[in-house]
Amino acid sequence: MPRHPIGERAMTDAERQARYRAARAAGAAVERTRRPADHPRPSPGQAPRARRWRHTVAALLALQAEYAGWLERLPANLQDSATAEALSAICELELSELAAIEPPRGFGRD
């Protein structure tokens, strides 16, 4: 979440740099927050693999439920169609086995 401007409007880059230099010249203490050393940083734009695995399996289970509902609402004249066969094949997949799998945590954290 972005910080709120200190004044009536946001500072320009030049104003921000001038304020920074003035604070350093005045000897103001520098506060820096850092991530704990034992908390690894994920790759840019990616969550850890285990979390991505759980989200993906949850999405597959949700899709399977949607397809099951679609199959139940399929009109009688389409019960023997290729669409019904594909929906049945998707609904018959045993995705609960995927949900039971807990992926390894990674190198050195097993």
pLDDT digits (tens, 9 = 90+) for 42-95: 555 566 778 888 889 999 999 999 999 999 999 999 999 999 999 999 999 999
> Is 72 a domain residue?
yes
> Is 110 a domain residue?
no
pLDDT of amino acid 45? 57
pLDDT of amino acid 91? 93
Higher pLDDT, 102 or 39: 102
> Is 59 a domain residue?
yes
The residue range of the domain holding 53 is 49-100
pLDDT of amino acid 71? 93
For residues 8-31, give the mean pLDDT. Answer: 86
> Is 60 a domain residue?
yes
> Is 36 a domain residue?
no
Answer yes or no: is pLDDT of 35 > 80. Answer: no
| Pick from 32, 38, 35, 56: nearest CA to 46 | 56
> Is 96 a domain residue?
yes
The count of structural domains within the chain is 1
Residues 6+ apart with CB under 8 A from 61: 95, 99
> Is 14 a domain residue?
no
pTM beyond 0.75: no
DSSP assignment of 21-69: HHHHHTTPPP------TTSPPPPTT---HHHHHHHHHHHHHHHHHHHHH
Q: How many CB atoms lie within 10 A of CB 87?
A: 19
Count Cβ neighbours within 10 Å for each residue of 35-61 and write b for 16 or more, e otherwise: eeeeeeeeeeeeeeeeeebbeebeeee
> Is 11 a domain residue?
no
